[in-house]
């Protein structure tokens, strides 16, 4: 078995080494002997099989999976090895609805941390906030738990109960939650409306939130914009706060609502050839009014692509906070036994050649919320009964700053015409 495994890995390694050698920019280390390193790996596996005290833990498959898991986990937080069951679950999740808590998580300094609780899901309704740290899942500590394993524990069949122990860094409070999984299906466009005018005669400013980027998001946004325009909208605020991302194509199509056809939105660079993503070649809507994009620390991935493109192309002002900084491309490659490797293969760049990953998109105008203001804002969304008046009574400094920016932009344009 060892000889077969060794030969297979060696063949793959030598093939990759040959490709590297054929590339002019291949690093000098490509000349190192793959054979010697793989011989070291095979020898270590042999020793474990031969001498480790607990024979039940030295199955070839488990040792191989552990080695693959360690290799990929050590690269970056987004690369991972998926056993056959995890890979199958991932494929099902991308094709249909799934059961879960609606809590988007990541690893921050080894701690399982909530990026965002998706609206209208069990996690959101329970009052979980961005930044909350998940210490335990069903009584088991999450210390150093690989991200894919943690996600698998959070997801499952609708109707099943899950217990969580969370710590809120802003207050130090540790709290237990018992949640019931539901089928997660979230409307991506929320609260599309004309904001209340501060004074009669002031511009009519439209507003809508995108909670995540799904297949119908761009079409739903287009329909919402058409309705707001019919009501005499003079300017528009696109709220991407707490939006964790979603489908890349959907984010590009959202940009297409505000940009000319065939406009570069984002491109990738990696060891493979670069790839560009552009708006559709067909005619775009004639939406010429001023736009503000609202962002915060939990705006990630697709949100950063939209904010970065509209900012670089001078199509929108970005107001709020620097975004999360998740701008890498993961490719999933299936392996012969039904498992798979998710590997970071490229990074996203905005049209202005700005790297998104680990940098985020910085705002033109910085505006922040205190922990209390953010909690009040999310609480108001949980208690919302009438979407048309949901946030009127809640003080939202970031939204107010966006309104100020648009009024200033409209006044400037008016003065220019005089």
In a domain, 93, yes or no: no
How far apart CA 340 and CA 390 sit, in angstroms, is: 44
Give the 3-state secondary structure of residue 222. helix
Supply the pLDDT for residue 403: 95
In a domain, 65, yes or no: no
Q: φ and ψ at 101, to 5 degrees?
A: -105, -10
Query: Nearest Cα to 380, choosing from 370, 393, 368, 371?
Result: 393
276 and 297 inside one domain? yes
The conformation of residue 408, written as its DSSP 8-state character, comes to H
170 and 199 inside one domain? no
Handedness of CA 153, 157, 158, 163 (dihedral sign): negative
195 and 149 inside one domain? no
261 and 390 inside one domain? yes
For the record, the structure tokens of 26 come out as 């291949």
Looking up tokens 């297979």, which residue turns up? 8
In a domain, 251, yes or no: yes
171 and 204 inside one domain? no
Torsion on CA atoms 54, 58, 59, 65, rounded to nearest 10: 130
Residues in the chain: 418
Query: Nearest Cα to 316, choosing from 259, 249, 252, 247?
Result: 259
User: Could you read off the pLDDT of 172-197 as tens digits, one per residue?
Assistant: 999 999 999 998 877 789 999 999 98
Helix (H) or strand (E) holding 318: strand 317-320
193 and 153 inside one domain? no
Supply the pLDDT for residue 235: 97
The CA-atom distances, in angstroms, between 394 and each of 192, 216, 239 are 17, 29, 16
Per-residue pLDDT of the chain (418 residues; tens, 9 = 90+): 444 444 444 444 444 444 444 455 445 454 567 888 888 998 999 999 999 999 889 999 999 999 999 999 889 888 889 899 888 776 665 444 568 898 988 888 889 999 888 888 899 999 998 889 999 999 999 987 888 788 889 988 889 999 999 999 988 999 999 999 998 877 789 999 999 988 888 899 999 999 999 888 999 999 999 999 999 999 999 999 999 898 899 999 999 999 999 999 999 999 888 999 999 998 778 899 999 999 999 999 999 999 999 999 999 999 999 999 999 988 889 999 999 999 999 999 999 999 999 999 999 999 999 988 888 888 887 765 444 444 445 789 999 999 999 998 888 887 877 6
In a domain, 63, yes or no: no
The tally of domains found in the chain comes to 3
In a domain, 359, yes or no: yes
152 and 198 inside one domain? no
For the record, the structure tokens of 252 come out as 């590009």
Supply the pLDDT for residue 273: 87
Supply the pLDDT for residue 133: 95
Instruction: Say which of 120, 132, 239, 312 is annotated catalytic.
Output: 312
Is residue 303 flagged as an active site residue?
Answer: no
Instruction: Say which of 326, 328, 339, 396 is annotated catalytic.
Output: 326
The conformation of residue 285, written as its DSSP 8-state character, comes to P
46 and 107 inside one domain? no
Is residue 326 flagged as an active site residue?
Answer: yes
| CATH code: domain of residue 152 | 2.30.42.10
Q: What is the pTM of this model?
A: 0.76
137 and 247 inside one domain? no
Instruction: Say which of 301, 303, 328, 339 is annotated catalytic.
Output: 301
109 and 159 inside one domain? yes
In a domain, 89, yes or no: no
Query: Do 103 and 128 form a contact (C-beta atoms < 8 A)?
Result: yes
Supply the pLDDT for residue 15: 44
How far apart CA 79 and CA 81 sit, in angstroms, is: 7
For the record, the structure tokens of 33 come out as 């002997």
Question: Which phi-psi region, left, alpha or beta, contains residue 214 (left: φ > 0; alpha: ψ -120 to 50)?
Answer: beta
For the record, the structure tokens of 65 come out as 């999976």
307 and 274 inside one domain? yes
How far apart CA 353 and CA 364 sit, in angstroms, is: 17
Each residue of 163-179: b (16+ CB within 10 Å) or e? ebbbbbeeeeeeeebeb
Query: Do 178 and 162 form a contact (C-beta atoms < 8 A)?
Result: yes
In a domain, 67, yes or no: no
Supply the pLDDT for residue 76: 87
Is residue 57 flagged as an active site residue?
Answer: no
- Domain extent, residue 115, equals 98-184
Supply the pLDDT for residue 383: 66
In a domain, 68, yes or no: no
Helix (H) or strand (E) holding 328: strand 328-334
How far apart CA 316 and CA 310 sit, in angstroms, is: 5
The conformation of residue 96, written as its DSSP 8-state character, comes to S
User: Domain end: 162, 184, 206, which one?
Assistant: 184
User: Could you read off the pLDDT of 304-360 as tens digits, one per residue?
Assistant: 999 999 999 999 999 999 999 999 988 889 999 999 999 999 999 999 999 999 999
* Residue partners of 76: CB distance under 8 A and separation at least 6: 328, 344
């Amino acid at each position: 078995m060892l000889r077969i495994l060794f030969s297979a890995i060696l063949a793959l390694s030598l093939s990759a080494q040959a490709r590297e050698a054929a590339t002019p920019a291949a690093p000098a280390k490509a000349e190192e002997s793959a054979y010697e390193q793989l011989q070291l790996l095979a020898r270590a596996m042999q020793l474990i099989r031969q001498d480790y005290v607990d024979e039940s833990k030295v199955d070839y498959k488990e040792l191989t999976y552990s080695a693959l898991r360690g290799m990929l986990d050590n690269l970056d937080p987004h690369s991972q090895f998926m056993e056959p069951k995890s890979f199958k679950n991932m494929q099902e999740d991308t094709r249909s609805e799934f059961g879960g808590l609606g809590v988007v998580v990541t690893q921050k300094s080894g701690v399982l941390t909530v990026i965002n609780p998706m609206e209208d899901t069990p996690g959101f309704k329970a009052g979980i906030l961005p930044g909350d740290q998940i210490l335990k899942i069903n009584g088991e500590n999450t210390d150093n738990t690989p991200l894919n394993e943690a996600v698998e524990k959070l997801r499952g069949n609708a109707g099943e109960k899950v217990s969580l122990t969370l710590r809120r860094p802003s207050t130090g409070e540790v709290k237990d939650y018992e949640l019931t999984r539901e089928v997660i299906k979230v409307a991506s466009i929320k609260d599309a409306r004309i904001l209340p005018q501060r004074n009669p005669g002031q511009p009519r400013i439209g507003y809508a939130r995108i909670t995540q980027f799904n297949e119908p998001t761009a079409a739903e946004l287009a329909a919402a914009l058409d309705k707001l325009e019919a009501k005499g909208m003079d300017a528009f605020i696109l709220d991407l706060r707490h939006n964790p991302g979603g489908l890349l194509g959907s984010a590009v199509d959202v940009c297409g609502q505000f940009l000319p056809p065939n406009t570069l939105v984002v491109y990738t660079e990696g060891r493979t050839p670069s790839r560009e993503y552009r708006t559709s070649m067909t005619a775009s809507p004639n939406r010429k009014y001023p736009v503000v994009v609202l962002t915060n620390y939990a705006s990630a991935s697709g949100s950063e692509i939209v904010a970065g493109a509209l900012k670089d192309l001078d199509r929108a002002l970005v107001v709020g906070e620097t975004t999360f900084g998740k701008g890498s491309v993961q490719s999933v490659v299936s392996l012969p036994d039904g498992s798979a490797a998710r590997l970071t293969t490229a990074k996203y760049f905005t049209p202005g050649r700005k790297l998104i990953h680990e940098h985020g998109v910085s705002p033109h105008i910085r505006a922040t919320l205190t922990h209390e203001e953010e909690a009040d804002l999310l609480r108001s969304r949980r208690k919302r009964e009438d979407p048309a008046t949901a946030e009127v009574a809640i003080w939202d400094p970031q939204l107010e700053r966006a309104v100020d920016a648009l009024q200033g932009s409209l006044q400037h344009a008016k003065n220019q015409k005089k």
